[in-house]
Structure 1
Amino acid sequence: MIWLRIGLLFGVLAIILGALGAHALKDILDENALESFNTAVRYQTYQAFALLFLGLYSLYFQKSVNLIGVLLTIGTLMFSGSIYALVAFRYLEMPYRFFGPITPLGGLVIIAGWGSWFVQTFQTKVATK
């Protein structure tokens, strides 16, 4: 259930942040910053759906998916979170460059999560009742 809840939380936050970007931020951010912000929202949305599906997958196949969920969650926080921080800190004219290396590392963690899930599908049998 935890992965369903985190997926729902990521989803609602992506909707809120997407609306913020489309309405409030479009007038105050430059085009490059807004594009980066929208990329973070888009990838957060992808991972929200993945975590929702992961939660359902674990119930149906009765598999432990904790490693996959942790990787997708941490990767999303690192990837999207660092982009949100880059945009905000840059706008506030605060030092922001140290967030830059976090973004690709977060992407690698997300890829590891998807890769782990792929590998697990070879070890999965349909639960029978």
Structure 2
Amino acid sequence: MNGKQIIQTAAIFGAVAVGIGAFGAHGLKDILADTGKAETFETAVKYHFYHSLALFLIGILALIKPTWNKLSTAAILMVVGILIFSGSLYFLSLTGITWLGAITPLGGVAFIAGWILVFLAASTKSDL
């Protein structure tokens, strides 16, 4: 992914995070309160939005520092993290299927790996 594609992806993920958050706060409020999953849903939205912003910043970095090749992989890992971490928590919140929570940490690992790759990209000696 190049910087422009990363920014576009971030914009889509950010818009979806706002939409899902608003829908959860209004359209699903009673359902989430009845099932006791409002906090889980809120966690999913928070991580979704935080990492959409991180993805946006990675895109900007990729435009400024196109030689930092690890940024593309970092962006992909952020997308994977959003889909697995937040996606599994959304699904768990709405269905009550708790075994799906077992894959949630895999999304967290993707987030961590993405952040580590941003660090490594910035550590490139040839382009400091």
Superposition TM-score, scaled by structure 2 size? 0.87
SS at match of 2:58: helix
CA distance in 1, matches of 2:32, 2:110: 28
* Equivalent of residue 65 in structure 2, options 52, 61, 65: 61
User: Which residue does 1:19 correspond to in 2?
Assistant: 22
* Equivalent of residue 77 in structure 1, options 83, 91, 102: 83
Q: Which protein has the bigger helix share?
A: 2
Offset at residue 46 of structure 1 (A) = 0.6
Offset at residue 98 of structure 1 (A) = 3.2
User: Which residue does 1:4 correspond to in 2?
Assistant: 7
**Mapping of residues 117-128 of structure 1, within 5 Å:** 117-123=118-124, 125=127
Instruction: Give aligned-pair identity as a percent.
Output: 37
CA distance in 2, matches of 1:39, 1:17: 12
CA distance in 2, matches of 1:13, 1:82: 15
Query: Which amino acid is 1:77 matched to?
Result: L
* Equivalent of residue 94 in structure 2, options 83, 88, 99: 88
- Unaligned regions of 5+ residues in structure 2, if any? none
- Unaligned regions of 5+ residues in structure 1, if any? 91-95
Query: Which amino acid is 2:75 matched to?
Result: G
Aligned residue pairs total: 121
User: Which residue does 1:48 correspond to in 2?
Assistant: 52
CA distance in 1, matches of 2:51, 2:32: 25
Offset at residue 2 of structure 1 (A) = 1.6
